[in-house]
Structures are given as structure tokens and as C-alpha cells.
Amino acid sequence: MDRWQIRVDTGGTFTDCLAIDPHGHQHRAKVLSNSALRGRVTGHSAKDTLQTDMPHQLSAGFLLGYELRLLRGDQPATQSRRIVACDSFGKLTVDGPMAPIESGTPFEVFAHEEAPILAARLVTDTPLHEALPEMELRLATTRGTNALLERKGVPTALFVTRGFADLLRIGDQRRPDLFAVDVRKSAPLTLDVIEVDERLDAEGRVVRPLSFTGLAQQARRLQARGIAAAAIAFMHSYRNAEHEERVAAFLRELGFSTVSVSAHLAPLIKILPRAQTAVVEACLGPIIKGYLERVHSRVVAGTVHAMTSAGGLVEGRLYRATDSLLSGPAGGVAGAAAVARERGDKRIISFDMGGTSTDVARWDGDFEYQFEHRVGDAHLVAPALAIETVAAGGGSICRFFEGRLTVGSESAGADPGPACYGAGGPLTVTDVNLLCGRLDPARFGIPIDVEAARSRLDELLAVMAKHAAESTAEAVLSGLTQIADERMAAAIRRVSLERGYDPTDHGLVAFGGAGAQHACGVASCLAIDCVIVPVDASLLSAHGLGAAVVERFAQRQVLEPLAEVASELPQWLRELGEAARTEVVAEGILADDIEIRRRMVNLRFRGQESCLTIEADDGVSLPAAFADAYEGVYGHRPTKERLIEVESVRVVASSRVPTPASTTIQQAPEGVSKASGQRRVWTGSLWCEVPTYEREELGTGATVDGPALIFEEHSAAWVAEGWRLQVDARGALVLRRQVSMTAVADNLPQADAVRLELFTHALENGAREMGTLLQRTALSTNVKERLDFSCALLDPEGRLVVNAPHIPVHLGALGVCVRAVAATLELAPGDTAITNHPGFGGSHLPDITLITPVHSGT
């Protein structure tokens, strides 16, 4: 190895970097995603000289040319100076006098470079005035996701078939908030829509020829308004892309800098998601392109690859915005999959808890994909790993609202960050873990203010007392932890239900900055008995970049009965394989190093929306494999009379899985598990002195019984009471549950506000899960797309307890219906009553109500 290998994952709060130098030594760095390093002023002896304390070990001269900005709690930075001299002991000289500064004042330094470049400079010890060494740089980024969610893309216009100007405004008629009286729909990402005279029929034949009359004049009006990005989406263009391609060429000749063609991005049926995909690419493409160009400009020697939402790598200059929106989470899943392969695990659930959100996914020997997914308001047609995201992370805000303690969905992000960051942030999950004693302030990558976190907790307790919900600090800390754990466990339950698997059959691979803190709690909620915390758990997304491969998808829409096209499938798969292989070769991969990794046929019953993906391996009977998969997901075997349809076929070609780079790692003697100290920790039931261990001092086979804390450079693992940890041969911490969690849970104090939130959340999830199954099995477009149904739980008297976020029009009749039916029929365990009778609460005849009783005890 003759150059650096650097993997950088930029998240919403932190940017993680894992690097291997040309000699095989590993280096790690963690910086804020706003591209800044933070520290504290410890002395101000001269007007232009500061003595500082920074968590990073920096060499003399490293910070030359960086700007220094003071932070003052809730106030914006008040002074900014350029650093003109610095030593390795924290002494900084700036380019002008500064007003007196109190000791302890936080500051940050920055150089207007992207976070991956700052991280690369840290691990390679390259100051600002020097070029970075030759490297292979791999990136995962949330840049496109953030721009989409914050609606900060470039001004974009949509060119669409005449008569469909309101396509994006109408959408699929879903309301953003079903129960809002004042409905405020999100505006489309486009600033304008241009209707084009053209029309194809459903087979791609020309009905109305393409006309350019007046198009140039309309396009120039857009340019005069500063709109230089265009998305093109015509009816049925997935069957025939000629009209879109001609308009695209015309707009490029006029000077449009970005033009996206829906038939090239998503050659599949359904104009709405295809148009939204094209708009997202046009709107965000320049943002991603500019970001990668700025990174490229600093990597003078070497290569830059970026991770796609599907877990593969693409050369930076070929990277699409629509492939970037789950880039960071995909890196984590790739890292968890690499850990599972190394350990020989068959099935795992990846649990990636970061600063802003938590991502969960399943791996059972290969990745699970989704080919349509939503990010914010956008519905995208692009391959992505099947990842479920919940807005609960280390930065999730904890508050008291309407009698309940809540965690999320808002996050403090990187700026201002949690209260303990000292920048005026709110109480967050990170602060809760810190106040419980599960985190060591000295081990953060930035200065930590414990008193700021304690002050925010006191404010929360005061608000609760004001609303007659007085509680102890310990009960609130326990409650907030439980609520966060339950929210994340619910995401895993949703994934399990949708894909028809039992989470108890899986190991939980916990990583991310906060994953190891909450792994035992989440596993207990799911009755999972085994948790794996890999080496460098807080940097596993970066590790996943090293394990990823260059890959390409090729796809074909079919929409024909399986029986009619079965003989043509092998030829289609071969053609798609060659197309995907050609794209991988274009990345510079040798043909002998490319493999066809997946051959997928998406099958469904005619009329259904949801497909089941069947691997078209040699010798596989597709009808039998479909029947087996259907039974696994839906719990019953389908009848042979129903017509099976081929929705599409897809092939994945990739470079071969790389051999892990040789690295030099210090290992402790086998079996050693000597505590390095003790720490006062709130375990959930009492304060006690808990043993602490340094991870690098735990040898293979070492065992630790909970409660205990395992510290490493960028994270801490909490071994809860009733769990035992053992270090495996690869250095991973393997935690196994030793006792039933019921006994432990009985000892946990719970405030009424906590109990209310936990029960509400559990009941809401039950109602949501009913809707998930109904939607997946539906044949009706009203049910599967518009969500025109309602699911609810009622008490024994037929009074509404909780409902899922479905169409609310039915909710008033549900209680009437249940009470009327219960008065007429005696429902035994296992019974379900079905009615559309107007005299029993039916609103109109097509509305069919199913009522199932739940009996407790005997």
C-alpha cells in the first residue's frame, strides 16, 4: 500500500474519519460537521495571544491560517481573528488585538474547507498551507439530504406534458398532517412549470408530435429570472425517451447548466415519482457537484469516490444527487454487514444511533433493497438500502408537552448542539446520558459543560412541577432513556413487520456515536438476546466505506404475467448484466474483477402495489419461491389461482469485495478484563459506583458483567444490569442477556409523565402496524396509495383509545360500530366481525369494518 486510505462519513452533527497510512497504521478523527474544531481559552496574557485547551493533539504550526471565532453561549460569535502563530501546547497568536477574554470561554477554528478535508488534514497531520498526500478518499455525505430537507437547492423549472402543470402540486393527494384543521401543503421544489406540446400513449407511440413553438421564449424567461436548472418529465417517456432527450438537448444548447431527464433517471411507470426524481436531481445536482468539486480541488493526487444510497461506490464526478440521499446511513449498514461477514453471523439488524437520528436495517447474507423511497416531501425512484430512520439520536431534544415527556423529533444538530456543548443548546439525549454518568466529559472531542446540561434538566423539572407533574431528576432521566429506547425499538418492529421476519432471530450490531449507550435498552425492548459492538463502533459508517464495492444497477420494467414471460427472463437478465458490467468497467475496474452479484425479479399478484424480490439464481422455481416468500411476509400461503405478475427485473454488477487492508492494532493479553477505575452512574434504579474499562485493555475472551462502562476514544458502551460482555477474537464486544428484563424493569422508577408517554407510544405503534399490513396486502389504489382507511384500538366499552395517522373520517363511526356489533354478537377469542351495515355504524357500503376482540387472562 503506497498511499493513504481515508474514509469519511459526514453526518448531521459529526464527521467521522477512519484512515490507514501507507505503513498500515490506523488513524481516527472526529470533527463537527460544520468544519470546525472547538476548544476553550485558558489564558489571555497578551492582546493577540491566547493559551488554549483543545481535545485534538495538534502539531506546531498546524493551525496557521485558520480563523478563530469566540462562542458565547446563546450569543453569536463576537470576535474573529486569523491565527498567525501556534505551538503544540495550545498557544495561539492571532492577527490583531482581542478584547479581554474570560478563562473557559469556548471558541472554534475553521478554514472554510469541507469537513472531509479538515478530517483528512488531521489524520495526515497536513497544515493548511501544504497539499494533502496521495490518497484514496471515500465519502458518505448528508449534504444532499440536508439541502432537500431545508429546501436549499438551486432554482429549478419542470418541463412537463401539456395538461399536467399541476402534477407536483396535486401529488398523490396525501395530506401532510391528516388531523390539521388548517392544511398547509409543502410547495414543490420547482419555481416554475413549463407545459410542452407532446404526448405518447401507454405503449410509447406518438399521439401528439413534439412541438418547440414558443419553447425558446419561455426558456429564456426562466433564465432571466435566474433559473438555470431544468427537470423534464413527460407522460409514458419510460416507454420512449425520444421527446425528453430532444427537449434536453434543446435546453442545453440554450445554456441551461443542469438538465435532468426522468426517463434516464427512472425508466419506470408512474409519472409522479419519476417527475419528483428528476426535479430532485436538477435541484440538488449542482449542490452535490459543487461539494465534490471542492473536495476534489484539495485532493491533488489520488481518487475520490462517494457512497450511494444502495451501499455501493461511484466515482465522484459521476455521482448523482438522487443516489446520495441515504449515503451516510448506507455506509453504516455496509460496515455492519462487514462485521457480520467477519464473525460468520447469518442475520443481523444494524442499529446506527448518531447525533440527529437513528437508522436501522436488516442484513441476512446480502443487502435488502428498496427501489422507491421517500426523503422529506420527495418520492424518489432510485435504488437504496431498505433503511428505516427514526428521529431519535444523541441530539434529540427532550421536553415536557401536554402532560408527557417526549424525546424528538426535533434535534439540536451540530449547532448549537446539546446543552453540554456549551453553545446554548437544549436538553438532549446526550445530556441525559452525561447526567446519568454514562459518559465521561474528558473523552468528548470538544469541551463539555456538565453544568449547562444540569441547568437544562432543572428547567425541565420546573416546567413539570408547574403543570402538577412533579418528579425527581432520577425518574426523569430514567424515563427519557426508556422513551428514547422504545422509539428506536419501534422502528425495528416496523421493519420486521413489513418484511416478515422475527427480530429475536437476529443479533443487534450497535454503532454510531450513541449506539453502544442504548443497545442493551433497545435489545431488551425487542427481546433480542445478543448485541455486537464492533471495534470503532462510533466510526463504523466510515469503516463501511472501506468494505464497500463499486457497483451499478441495471433495470427493466416488465408488467407482464410471469407465465407469459418466463422463457424471456434469462435473456433479459443477461442483457442487464452486460449493461451493468459495462458501467463498472467505465469506473476503471478490470473486467476480471467484476461479478454479477444479484439477479432480482420483482413479483406480485396482478393488481397489488407491493412486490416481493426473488433472487433468480440457477435452478430456482420463481412461482414456488414467490409462494414461500409470500407466506413468510403475510402468514398464509397464496392460492395457485391468482395471477403472478413480473413488475420488473434488476441486476447488480460490482467489483469484488475487497480484502481488508492490513493494519497494525495493539491488542491486550488474552482474557484480561481488569477495571481501570470506577464511575458514579445512575443505573436506572439507583446511584452506584460502576467499574469502568478501557476497551484496548480488554483481551480476547475477557468477560465483564453489568452494570459496567467500556470506554474507547470516541464512544462509551453501557453494559446494563443483567447483561454479560465478552470480547470475541476480532475485538468486538459481544453482550448477551443473562436474566429476564421483567425483573430489572420492575425496579425502575417511573414518573406519571413517563408512563403516559410509553403507553401512548406502544398503543400508537399497534395501530400503525395494523395499517402497515393492510397497505401492503391491498389491491385498491385508494388504500395502498391514498391511505383511505383507518385503524384504531378501542377499550372494552368501544371507546376510542388511539388511532393511527390514516383518514380521520371513519374515526367517529368506529366506536358506534364496535358498540353496536358487541351488543349483537358475542365475539370469542379468534373471532373477527365484518360489517358494512349502515345500522351498525357503516358510513357507506364500500366501507367494510373488521372488528377483532383481544381477550386477556382465561
Domains observed in the chain: 4-146 (no CATH), 150-307 (no CATH), 551-655 (3.30.1490), 789-851 (no CATH)
Q: Is the pLDDT of residue 77 over 70?
A: no
Lowest mean pLDDT among 48-62, 385-399, 471-485, 771-785: 771-785
Residue with grid cell 493533539, as numbered in its chain: 57
Cell of 482: 426508556
Task: Count CB atoms within 10 A of the CB of residue 764.
Answer: 17
| Predicted local confidence at residue 750, as pLDDT | 56
| Predicted local confidence at residue 304, as pLDDT | 95
Query: Alpha helices, DSSP H only, in 635-751?
Result: 741-745
DSSP characters over 788-820? ----EEE-TTS-EEEE-SS-GGGHHHHHHHHHH
Lowest mean pLDDT among 158-172, 183-197, 630-644, 705-719: 630-644
**C-alpha to C-alpha distance for 603 and 45, rounded to whole angstroms:** 73
Confidence of residue 671 (pLDDT cuts 50, 70, 90): low
Lowest mean pLDDT among 73-77, 143-147, 167-171, 514-518: 73-77
Mean pLDDT of the chain: 88
Confidence of residue 744 (pLDDT cuts 50, 70, 90): very low
pTM of the model: 0.84
| Predicted local confidence at residue 659, as pLDDT | 60
**C-alpha to C-alpha distance for 633 and 612, rounded to whole angstroms:** 9
Lowest mean pLDDT among 92-106, 239-253, 551-565, 681-695: 92-106
Cα atoms in the 13 Å half-sphere on the side-chain side of 77: 16
Residue range 496-523: mean pLDDT, rounded: 88
| Predicted local confidence at residue 843, as pLDDT | 72
Task: Count CB atoms within 10 A of the CB of residue 529.
Answer: 15
Confidence of residue 787 (pLDDT cuts 50, 70, 90): confident
Q: Is 217 helix (H, G, I), strand (E, B) or coil?
A: helix
Residue range 837-851: mean pLDDT, rounded: 83
Provide the CA 202 distance to its chain's centre, in angstroms: 36
Residue range 402-424: mean pLDDT, rounded: 84
Confidence of residue 858 (pLDDT cuts 50, 70, 90): low
Looking at the chain, how many residues does it have?
858
Residue range 318-344: mean pLDDT, rounded: 92
Task: Count CB atoms within 10 A of the CB of residue 472.
Answer: 11
| Predicted local confidence at residue 670, as pLDDT | 63
Bridge partner list, 776:
none
Q: What does the CA dihedral 693, 694, 697, 703 come to, rounded to 10 degrees?
A: 30
| Predicted local confidence at residue 814, as pLDDT | 86
**C-alpha to C-alpha distance for 519 and 521, rounded to whole angstroms:** 5
| Predicted local confidence at residue 771, as pLDDT | 86
| Predicted local confidence at residue 658, as pLDDT | 64
DSSP characters over 495-509? HHHHHT--GGGSEEE
53 vs 845, which has greater pLDDT? 53
* Burial (CB count <10 Å: 0-12, 13-18, 19+), residue 634: middle
Map 398-452 to HEC letters: EEEECCEEEEEEEECCCCCCCHHHCCCCCCEHHHHHHHCCCCCHHHCCCCCCHHH
Residue range 305-328: mean pLDDT, rounded: 93
Lowest mean pLDDT among 66-80, 82-96, 695-709, 763-777: 66-80
**C-alpha to C-alpha distance for 690 and 289, rounded to whole angstroms:** 49
| Highest averaged pLDDT of the listed ranges 131-140, 403-412, 652-661, 709-718 | 131-140
577-583 long-range contacts, CB within 8 A, separation 24+: 577/651, 577/653, 579/554, 579/651, 580/552, 580/553, 580/554, 580/651, 580/652, 580/653, 581/552, 581/653, 583/552, 583/554, 583/653
| Predicted local confidence at residue 54, as pLDDT | 87
Phi-psi region of 176 (alpha: psi -120 to 50; beta: other; left: phi over 0): alpha
**C-alpha to C-alpha distance for 220 and 506, rounded to whole angstroms:** 58
**C-alpha to C-alpha distance for 467 and 400, rounded to whole angstroms:** 10
Q: Is the pLDDT of residue 664 over 50?
A: no
Lowest mean pLDDT among 368-382, 444-458, 580-594, 762-776: 762-776
| Predicted local confidence at residue 86, as pLDDT | 92
Longest dimension (CA), the chain: 88
Lowest mean pLDDT among 169-173, 520-524, 576-580, 682-686: 169-173
Confidence of residue 710 (pLDDT cuts 50, 70, 90): very high
Q: Is the pLDDT of residue 487 over 90?
A: no
Q: Is the pLDDT of residue 74 over 60?
A: no
User: From the CA atom positions of the chain, what is the Rg in Å?
Assistant: 28
Residue range 283-303: mean pLDDT, rounded: 94
| Predicted local confidence at residue 289, as pLDDT | 95
Confidence of residue 8 (pLDDT cuts 50, 70, 90): very high
Residue range 818-830: mean pLDDT, rounded: 91
Measure CA of the first residue to CA of the last residue in the chain; give whole Å. Answer: 68
414 vs 624, which has greater pLDDT? 624
Measured in degrees and rounded to the nearest 5, phi and psi for residue 803 equal -130, 155
**C-alpha to C-alpha distance for 123 and 114, rounded to whole angstroms:** 15
Q: Is the pLDDT of residue 662 over 50?
A: no
| Predicted local confidence at residue 741, as pLDDT | 52
Q: Is the pLDDT of residue 665 over 50?
A: no
| Predicted local confidence at residue 542, as pLDDT | 86
**C-alpha to C-alpha distance for 146 and 128, rounded to whole angstroms:** 27
Residue range 110-130: mean pLDDT, rounded: 94
Tell me how far CA of residue 264 lies from CA of 239, 381, 653, in angstroms: 11, 11, 19
Bridge partner list, 18:
7, 28
